[in-house]
Amino acid sequence: MAAAASTVPPSSSTSSPPQNTMSTHSTELVKGTHLFTVAGYSLQKRKGARHYIRSGSFEVGGYSWVVKFYPAGDTNEEGHVSASLELESNVVEKVTARFRFRVNGDTASEWVEFVAFTRGEGWGHPTFMKIETVESDYLTDDCLTLLCDVEVVKTVKTGATISRFITVPPPAICRHLEQLLESKEGSDVTFQVEQSEYDAHRAVLAARSPVFSAQFFGPMADQVAAAVGWQHVRIHDIKPAVFEAVLHFIYTDTLPPATTSWTGSHGAKRPKLSDVAAAACSKEDLRVMVGEWLAAADRFDLERMRLLCENTLCETIDVANAVATLRLADRHHCPQLKEFCMEYIASPGMLAAMMSTEGFRELKLDCPSLLIEILEKVGSCTMKLSASTMAAASNVPPSSSTSSSPHNTTSTHTTELVKGTHQFTVAGFSLLKRNGAGHFAKSGSFDIGGYSWAVLFYAAGEKKEDEGHVSVFLELQSTAVQKVTVKYTFHISGSTGISLLSVGWSDDFKPTSKRLGFNKFMDIETVEKKYLMNDRVTIHCAVEVVREKKTGATVSRRITVPPPAICRHLEQLLETKKGSDVTLQVERSKYDVHKAVLAARSPAFRAQFFGPMKAANKGAGGGGRCVRILDMKPAAFEAVLHFVYTDMLPPVEEEGFLMNKSASHLVNLRDAAVGCSKEEVRVMVREWLAAANRFGLERMRLLCENALCESIDVANAAATLRLADRHHCPQLKEFCMEYIASPGMLAAVMATEGFKELKGTHLFTVVGYSLQKRKGAEHSIRSGSFEVGGYSWVVLFYPAGNTKEEEGHVSVFLELRSTVSLVEKVTARSRFRVNGATAGSSPWGQFNDFTPSIKAWGCGKFKEIETVESEYLINDCLAMHCDVEVVKESETGATVSCFITVPPPGLSRHLEQLLESKQGSDVTFHVEQSEYDAHRAVLAVQSPVFSAQFFGPIASDGAPGGGAGGNGDGRQLVRIHDMKPAVFEAVLHFVYTDTLPPVKDLHFLQSGFSHRAKLVDAASGCSREDLRVMVGEWLAAADLYDLRRMRLLCENELCRTIDVANAAATLRLADRHHCQQLKAFCVEYVASPGMLAAVVATDGFRELKASCPSLLADLLEKLGSCSLE
C-alpha cells in the first residue's frame, strides 16, 4: 500500500538523532516618517470641503501607506484642515499601527493610539489644525510641509530550522579510489589479460582481496618478485571485461554498470537485470555476464562482490535458468543462492516444468549429487503441503501459500519513540500582552515523528479566566486519521536560568482535538521578573511521539549482502602496513603508509607525490622513502591518517586510536569519554580541523565543523569564530555569527577573552598618488566599501586637500554608504593611520552622528603633503588604515564593533634578508662576470616564467635566454645572456621585496636597499635621462620575466618624467613591451594642445616614423577625437 494511504506517516530509522529545531516569533515596532509637501495650497483649498490631495505611496513595516490631506477640511466643520493615514496594501489580517502628523517638522499632533487598519481604511484628524493658523504660521510660498510619523506593530515569524548541524557530504572514499584507478597515479603493477593491460596499486588490491594479499605480500612474495618481478603480472583464464569488473569492485565496492564499459561510467549503481532494456544486451546475456563476475569474485575471494552477483541472479530466476543457476551456485560455493534455487525448483508445479529443460538433462549427467538434494527438498515441501491441506480441512488457516512462487515472506511491526525539541523565541512580549487574552504568537511549524507541529504562546492567557497567566499549547498541524500518542514538556529560559518542566501526556491528538497544553502555565509576574530579557522570552518544547509501523507480508527474493567493507579493509591495510611505500615522520613518531591511497584522498599529498614537483621533492626529503611533516602534532596527524583510510573521524576515548580497531563512530563532544574534558576534546577537534584544511580533506573539515557546532557556548563562541575564519569554514563561521547575534548572547560573548582577541581593520591603498594629486583640491579617491556594525562605509581620500583652504594638506574622511531614514542616525567614530603607524600615533576622533544630510566625518588637514611624500610614500603608493567603532543600538543593547592595530606586513623585509644572507639558496645566476645566489621557490612564486622554467611539465635547468650547468656543490647554475648585471639585480630586488630598487647606488645588493627609486630627486652624478634609460631597461626585464607589478611601477616612473624630448621614445618603449596604460598616456600627452608640433621636431619622432608607422595611426585617431571634443 502507498504511504499516502497509510494511517501512519512514513517511518524513519529508530537510530535517527533527535530532531532539534528552532523558530522565532518577533513582535516589534517598525518606525518610519514620510514628508509630504503640498504646493499650491490656496488653489487646492478653493475646491472646498472633502476635497483631498494624496501623497505618494510609502512603505513602513512592509506595508504600503498614503497620506490624505484636506485643505478645506474633511467635514462640514469649517475653518480646519484635515489629515488622515490610509493603508494601501492588500492584507488578509488587520495591521496594527499608530501615527501622528507634524507641520513643517514643528507642531505635532497627539499620537493616534494603536488602531487596526484594513485595506482602503483611513484614520486621522478631522480638525487637525485651524486654517488660520496654517496660513499665518506655516505656509511658505503657498507650500505646506506635512510629516507623518508611523509606527507599525510588525509580527515576524521564522519557520522551523534544523539547529546545530553543518551540511556534511557523504563519504567519498570510493569515488576517490575510482579516480585513482582511472588516473593511474602511483600505480606499481600492470596486469596483462589477453591483449589488454591494466595499471593498478598493489596495496589497494591486497587490502581488498586475500588472494592478492598473499600474492604480493605473503611468505613467498619476495621469492616470486625476485624471480619474475611485479612490473607485469599475467592473468590467465579470464576475459578482460570480467577483470575490469573485478578492478571496479575493488576500487569502488560496487558492481559496474551492466550495459556499458565501467571505465566510462561514474557513480553507476549495481545492475538490476529485471529492468534492463533489451536493446543493448539481452537479459540472458547479462545473466551470463554476472555469472562470470561471480566466478571471478570466487577466484579472488571477494565475498561482497560474490553476494551482490548472487542477489542479482536471484532477482531474475525462472524455469529456463533455474537449473543452470543451481549448478553455478554449487560450483562457486554460494550457499544462499543454492538454497534459493532448491526452494524454487521444489515449489509446487515447478519440478515438472524444469525436468523438460536442457539444463536439467545436463544436470543428470554432470551433477547427480544435486539430484539427490533436489529430491530431499521436494520431499520436505510435499510434507509441508500435506500438512497445509489437512489444516484447511479442519478450518485451520494454512501455514504456507500454495502459490507457485517461493514462500519466503517477511512482515514487520515496529513501535518506536521519536524525540525532538523546538526552541521558540517570542520577541515583543509586552506588545503581545497589550493585545489582551486570546491573542497569541505562533511558532514556525516543525516536524517530529513524521507529523507537523507548532507551539502557541498567549502572553495574556488564552481566555479571560486565565488572567494573570501565560498560556502555552502544542498544536498538531498534520491531518491525522487516527489518534497520535505524544508526550510533551515545556519550559522557559531567561536571564535567571530555566524554569521547571511542565509535562503533558496525551493520546488524544485528533482532528477534533488538535491542541493540548497549559492554560495557566506560569503567572505573568514571574515571567517578567525572571525570564524576560530585552522584551523577549524563549519557550523550549520537547516532544516524544509514539509511532507504530506495520508492513504487510512480502515475498523475499533477496540474498543477504553485507554492507560495504572498503573502509574496514583500508583501515586494516594501515594497521598491517602491507605494501607501504613511504614513511611519514611527525616529530619523533613514524607512520608507514601508502602514497597511492594518500594521493587519492588528499590533493596536497597528490601534488607532493605525483605532481610536477615530485622530482624536486625527492632531493629535498619530500618524495623519498621518509618524509618529514612539520608544524603538526602526532595525534593530529594520526587523525588525518585515520580519516584518509576510513572516511571517518577517529574516536576520542583514547589517544592511540590507530590501535583501536573499533573506531567506527563519529566524535560526539557531548558524550566525550570520562577522563577527557569537553574543552580538551574541543581543542583536539580544532587541531583536526586545521590539519584537514592543510591537506585539503573537505569532508573531514566539515565533520569537525559539525562537532564544534554541537558544543558551542558563550565561552568558546568567539574563539570558534576566529578558527572558522582562519581556516575558511563558511558554514561554521555563519553558525557562530548567528549564535553571537541571537537574543541575549552578544553582551555575554563580548565579555569573554575570545572576543577581545578578534582583530581587524580596513586597509586602503592609493596607487599613483602623484597623478591623483595633480587633479587639485576637491578631487577625491574612494576606497572599496567595507562593513562595520552592520553598515557599509567608504574612505574618501583627497591628495590635494578637500577644499582650497586646506592647501598643502591631504584630507581624509569616513563616509556612510548605507541608506538610513530621515529620523535615523548612526553614531560612530574613526581614526586614520598611514602605512600601519601605531595606534597611539593617531588619536581617535569623537563620536559623530552620521545622517542622510551629514554622511561623512573626518580630517580636513590630516597631514601635510610634504610629510606624506617624504616619510610615507613608497613607489608612489600610500597605504591608509581606517579603524572604525560603531555604536549599534539593538534589542540586545548597544554594541561596539572594535578594530585594533595590526602591524604592517613583514614578509618583504624577511625575504630581503633572505636574499642578502643567501641562506638555503639552491640556484646561482651568472650574468656577465657577476654571480647571484637565489632561491628557486621564491622566484617561481613571483614570476610565471621562473615557475615554468624550474617546476613546469618541461622544466629544465635553464632560464630565459640562458643555458644551464652545475657547480661542484650540486647547486644549479644558470647563465643569463643579453642582460646587464645592474638590470638583473633590479629583477632580484623586486622579486624579493615587491619594490623597485634605489637608484643612488647601482650595486645595491652590497649596500642594502631601504628606499624606493625616486627619479625626480635623483642623486647628483646620475642625470635624469640616465635614470630614465635605466628604468626602461628594468621595464624590459619585467616584461621578459612577466613581473606585472614591476612593469607597472616602471611605467609610473616614466609617466612622471615624460616631456617633449622623450615622449616619442617612451611611446615606442610602451608599444614594444605591451604597456597599455603607458602607451595611452603617451598618446594623450603628444595629442594634447600645443604638444604635437614640438614632439614632431624631435629625433625620437623621426625614429618613430621610420620604425613604428602603426603608432602614427593611433596618434591620428587620438587627434581626431580631441578635435571633436
> Are both 1066 and 1040 inside the same structural domain?
no
Does residue 10 sit within a domain?
no
Does residue 612 sit within a domain?
yes
> Are both 90 and 232 inside the same structural domain?
no
**In Å, how far from its chain's centre is CA 558?**
41
Does residue 124 sit within a domain?
yes
> Are both 1025 and 1124 inside the same structural domain?
no
Q: Which of 515, 549, 583 is the last residue of a domain?
A: 549
**In the block, residue with C-alpha cell 586494516:** 572
* Phi, psi of 305, deg, nearest 5: -60, -40
Please answer whether residues 541 and 454 qualify as being in contact, where contact means their C-beta atoms are separated by less than 8 angstroms. Answer: no
CATH of the domain at 1079: 1.25.40.420
Does residue 752 sit within a domain?
no
How far apart (Å, rounded) are the C-alpha atoms in residues 1002 and 985? 9
Say how many CA atoms lie within 13 Å of 17 toward its Cβ.
8
Pairing mode of beta strands 143-162, 95-103: antiparallel
Does residue 142 sit within a domain?
yes
pLDDT at 86: 92
> Are both 943 and 976 inside the same structural domain?
yes
User: How is 74-142 classified by DSSP, letter by letter?
Assistant: SSS-TTEEEEEEEE-S--SS-EEEEEEEEETTTEEPPPEEEEEE-TT-EEEEEEEEEHHHIIIII-BTT
Q: Tell me the pTM.
A: 0.44
> Are both 843 and 912 inside the same structural domain?
no
Block means of pLDDT (10 residues each) for the chain, 1125 residues, are 37 44 68 85 83 88 90 80 90 86 72 84 86 86 86 69 56 80 85 91 87 82 62 87 92 74 36 40 82 91 88 84 86 86 79 77 76 71 58 47 40 70 84 86 86 90 90 85 80 61 62 79 88 82 78 52 74 82 90 86 83 51 68 89 87 43 36 59 88 88 84 82 82 82 74 58 76 84 79 87 87 84 73 64 75 84 88 80 67 31 56 80 88 86 83 55 53 86 91 78 34 37 78 90 87 84 85 84 79 80 74 62 51
How far apart (Å, rounded) are the C-alpha atoms in residues 971 and 924? 7
How far apart (Å, rounded) are the C-alpha atoms in residues 1059 and 1057? 6
Structure-block grid coordinates of residue 1033: 631597461
pLDDT at 641: 92
Total count of domains within the chain: 7
* SS3 of residue 403 by DSSP: coil
- Please report, as a single letter, which amino acid is at residue 43: L
Strand partners, 533: 536
What element of type H or E holds 356? none
Which of the 8 DSSP states describes residue 818? S
CATH of the domain at 572: 3.30.710.10
> Are both 866 and 910 inside the same structural domain?
no
> Are both 48 and 150 inside the same structural domain?
yes
pLDDT at 246: 93
Q: Which of 1057, 1091, 1109 is the last residue of a domain?
A: 1057
Measured CA to CA in angstroms, residue 677 lies from 653, 683, 704 at distances of 11, 10, 17
> Are both 48 and 66 inside the same structural domain?
yes
Could you list the residue range(s) of the whole structural domain that residue 1075 is in? 1058-1125
Q: Which of 728, 744, 777 is the last residue of a domain?
A: 728
> Are both 431 and 496 inside the same structural domain?
yes
pLDDT at 554: 44
CB atoms closer than 10 angstroms to residue 513: 11
Structure-block grid coordinates of residue 719: 574563539
**In the block, residue with C-alpha cell 574612494:** 782
Please answer whether residues 88 and 57 qualify as being in contact, where contact means their C-beta atoms are separated by less than 8 angstroms. Answer: yes
> Are both 539 and 586 inside the same structural domain?
no
Query: pLDDT digits over 703-728, tens only?
Result: 888 888 877 888 888 888 888 877 88
Structure-block grid coordinates of residue 799: 591628495
Does residue 530 sit within a domain?
yes
Does residue 886 sit within a domain?
no
pLDDT at 85: 92
How far apart (Å, rounded) are the C-alpha atoms in residues 768 and 771? 6
Does residue 5 sit within a domain?
no
* Phi, psi of 349, deg, nearest 5: 85, -10
* Dihedral, CA of residue 845, residue 849, residue 850 and residue 851, to nearest 10: -160
> Are both 913 and 983 inside the same structural domain?
yes
How far apart (Å, rounded) are the C-alpha atoms in residues 70 and 52? 4
How far apart (Å, rounded) are the C-alpha atoms in residues 59 and 151? 11
Query: pLDDT digits over 618-642, tens only?
Result: 444 444 578 888 888 898 999 999 9
> Are both 839 and 923 inside the same structural domain?
no
- Contacts with 55 (C-beta within 8 Å, 6 or more apart), sequence order: 34, 36, 66, 67, 68, 69, 148
CB-count exposure of residue 761 (10 Å: 0-12, 13-18, 19+)? middle
